[in-house]
Chain A
Amino acid sequence: MEESEATESTKSMEATEEVSKAFEFRQCVSILKSTGKKAKSLRELRDILSTSSDACIFHHTYQYFLKGHILEYTNDFAHWAGESLEERALSEQLSNLDPYDFKEMSGVRNNLLKIIDNYLKSFPEPREAIHGDEFYFNESIIVVFPVGVRVENLAQFLIAIKYVDSGCIYYHFYEARYRLGSGFDDFSLWIEQVLGKHELVEKLKAIDPFMHSIEGIREHIVDAVEAEVRKEMEVIQ
């Protein structure tokens, strides 16, 4: 190989490495699909839930945070139990379910069924939802795309995270937990593997996904990263 070619090749390898070290922001949007099934009572909900697709359970639990919501609930089943059946204890129990505790969707399904079965055994039969307020079983199709924002260090990351669409935060913070299945989100993984900032990663991993809206998550990430950037700026070389 000629020297100039070798230099070019090395440069190209460096460039590739540089690119792979960068964090590329992606975003997802969800397109809602109806299954055509609905439940007007808790027993009907239970029966349909026991046979519904994994995609349907995924949509009503993991994707709850993609929607605008009140922090009273953490999934659609809890939301419906609280708002439409007005069964507060049931909605609290359903909200307490953490889907990220399970590796398989069957685990989420079985736990939802267990909560409902126990409730039906211990409490009087809940009333039916009023007409039009039934639980509608849906699924969704996720479309993922890069948003054209690529960062290479923490300071750039800080600026980007402040201004990207909320769909980006959902994709990298919530959806990633299920995709990666390791307790990591995309941000923590990049900061750990590329920037090696373990302390910051611990702070990000400590942000409870269930206790905040997406905008709340954004604020917490910004606070943690900003503190780290400030610390870096104070270091004397």
Chain B
Amino acid sequence: MLSDYIGVAPKGDLLLLQKICKKLEGRTFLHVNSTREGGGVAEILHRMIPMLNELGVKTRWEVLEGDEKFYEITKKLHNALQGNAEEITGEMWQYHFEVNRRNLKRLDLEADAVLIHDPQPVPLIDFRKNGKWIWRCHIDVANPDKEVCDYLKKYCEKYDAAVFSVAKFAKAMPIDEFIIPPSIDPLSEKNRELTKEEIDETIERLRIPVDRPIVLQVSRFDRFKDPIGVIEAYRIVKRYNDCILILAGSPATDDPEGEAVLAEVREHAASDPDIHVLLLPPFSDKDINALQRIADVILQKSLKEGFGLTVSEAMWKGKPIIGGATGGIPLQIVHGVTGFLVHSVEGAAFRIRQILTNPAMAKRMGVEGKEYIRNNFLITRQIRDYLSVWYSLENKGKSMLEL
């Protein structure tokens, strides 16, 4: 497992993983979340569990089981933490706790370190047996519903530490709070190297012309991703540079506005044969990978964004990127070095033109960007950080740890 990443991830990350695992050899590490399949958390756990076991840390993954009512409540919790107005009644909080308590019959919470992912299993802290307990929040909690946030804080403060994805998500709490950004897996279907035949197959099936430069945005059809703004920017560019625009995304099943936005985008793109609006089925990872690899410039012109890992995915393909200066995007784009941060349609258009007319600069940005992602946003770095947090909790008070 670890050896699969040799030559892909930075050697330092792999070495550190090995060395910390040596220190923690034979110790037990438990992860608890609420789903075995789907989503970024499950994706990283599928990779991490066998890797850590191979390196001598006895790592397990338990999944909390709930019913429909429980998931309706936790969906509301999720939305409230992201800033939507939701009412969580006392009875709902009680049910949330009850489901966690019921799970005790089937969950073995005995471990030297326990990492609880997201709000669904957060009450398990009340049944802590031993070890270091860490709460990992994967959600954008920059502007949460205060009442919901305050209630969850009561659980959080019983943990030894909390982990957030971005510094601005952290709250004032009397426990250690670590910042671990999310990551991409360079070996997954969405990011692995593709053969020319694989890329050609996608191009042919999706009928993408490759006779002119390609401008691409991959994202859900959501107003916050500003697909209309992307079309407007493309129209400005088109006056100077002949190019093709691809807007590719999967339908957002949990977003009732998704269809309306898609219809709006189609209407806006109407009659321009050089705009390709691709509604890809879920799990079109290989196609997205191929589209990113044939693009000349990739956009993530979001108006609001959680972390925006599509930026890292694009940069991993060695492409210059233009991103809206919002959410986690500025953490991934070093402005002027690995791509450009923009604040308007006009800004996006100007930067697209700049990249299309300066192939040498575009190439340099692509190379720098890929290296930046390699050093900062690969899954091996995230696993390394989890172990470092555990190790630092065992060496509390030290700001420098020598291995």
Instruction: Please give the residue numbers on chain A whose beta carbons come within 8 Å of chain B beta carbons, in ascending order.
Output: 27, 29, 31-34, 36-38, 55, 68-70, 132, 134, 136, 138-148, 165-168
The answer on a CB contact under 8 Å between A145 and B168 is: no
Instruction: Please give the residue numbers on chain B whose beta carbons come within 8 Å of chain A beta carbons, in ascending order.
Output: 10-13, 15-16, 19-20, 142, 164, 167-168, 170-173, 176-180, 326, 334-338, 372, 375-376, 384-385, 388-389, 391-392, 398-403
Per a CB cutoff under 8 Å, which of A68, A69, A136 touches B170?
Answer: A136
**15 contacting pairs across A/B (C-beta < 8 A):** A27-B15, A29-B13, A31-B178, A31-B392, A33-B177, A36-B173, A36-B177, A55-B399, A68-B337, A70-B334, A140-B399, A143-B401, A144-B403, A145-B402, A168-B12
Interface of B (DSSP majority class): mixed
The answer on a CB contact under 8 Å between A34 and B402 is: no
Q: Determine how close the nearest CB of chain A comes to the CB of B326; give it in whole angstroms.
A: 8
Q: How far is the CA of A36 from the CA of B167 in the complex (A)?
A: 8
Q: How far is the CA of A114 from the CA of B235 in the complex (A)?
A: 50
Q: Determine how close the nearest CB of chain B comes to the CB of A171; give it in whole angstroms.
A: 10
Which B residues touch A38, using CB under 8 A?
168
Interface of A (DSSP majority class): strand
Per a CB cutoff under 8 Å, which of A29, A36, A146, A165 touches B171?
Answer: A36
The answer on a CB contact under 8 Å between A29 and B172 is: no
Q: Determine how close the nearest CB of chain B comes to the CB of A91; give it in whole angstroms.
A: 15
The answer on a CB contact under 8 Å between A36 and B12 is: no
Per a CB cutoff under 8 Å, which of A68, A141, A143 touches B16?
Answer: A143
Q: Determine how close the nearest CB of chain B comes to the CB of A31; give it in whole angstroms.
A: 5
Which A residues touch B20, using CB under 8 A?
143
The answer on a CB contact under 8 Å between B19 and A145 is: yes
Q: How far is the CA of A134 from the CA of B143 in the complex (A)?
A: 13
Q: Determine how close the nearest CB of chain B comes to the CB of A172; give it in whole angstroms.
A: 13
The answer on a CB contact under 8 Å between A31 and B402 is: no
The answer on a CB contact under 8 Å between A141 and B11 is: no
Which B residues touch A69, using CB under 8 A?
334
Which A residues touch B172, using CB under 8 A?
36-37
* Given A29-B384, A31-B388, A31-B389, A36 contacting B170 (CB threshold 8 A): yes
Most buried by B among A134, A143, A146, A167: A143
Which B residues touch A145, using CB under 8 A?
15-16, 19, 402-403
Closest 3 CB pairs of A and B: A34-B170, A36-B172, A32-B179
The closest CB in chain B to the CB of A145 belongs to B403
Q: How far is the CA of A147 from the CA of B15 in the complex (A)?
A: 7
The closest CB in chain A to the CB of B403 belongs to A145
The closest CB in chain A to the CB of B386 belongs to A31
Which A residues touch B10, using CB under 8 A?
165, 167
* Given A29-B384, A165-B11, A70 contacting B335 (CB threshold 8 A): yes
Which A residues touch B400, using CB under 8 A?
141-144
Q: How far is the CA of A27 from the CA of B384 in the complex (A)?
A: 14
Which A residues touch B19, using CB under 8 A?
145
Q: How far is the CA of A146 from the CA of B19 in the complex (A)?
A: 9
Per a CB cutoff under 8 Å, which of B178, B334, B403 touches A68?
Answer: B334
The answer on a CB contact under 8 Å between A132 and B401 is: no
Q: Determine how close the nearest CB of chain B comes to the CB of A181; give it in whole angstroms.
A: 15
The answer on a CB contact under 8 Å between B399 and A141 is: yes
Q: Determine how close the nearest CB of chain B comes to the CB of A160; give it in whole angstroms.
A: 12
The answer on a CB contact under 8 Å between B334 and A136 is: no
* Given A34-B179, A142-B401, A132 contacting B334 (CB threshold 8 A): no
* Given A142-B401, A166-B375, A34 contacting B178 (CB threshold 8 A): yes
The answer on a CB contact under 8 Å between A70 and B336 is: yes
Q: Determine how close the nearest CB of chain A comes to the CB of B22; give it in whole angstroms.
A: 10
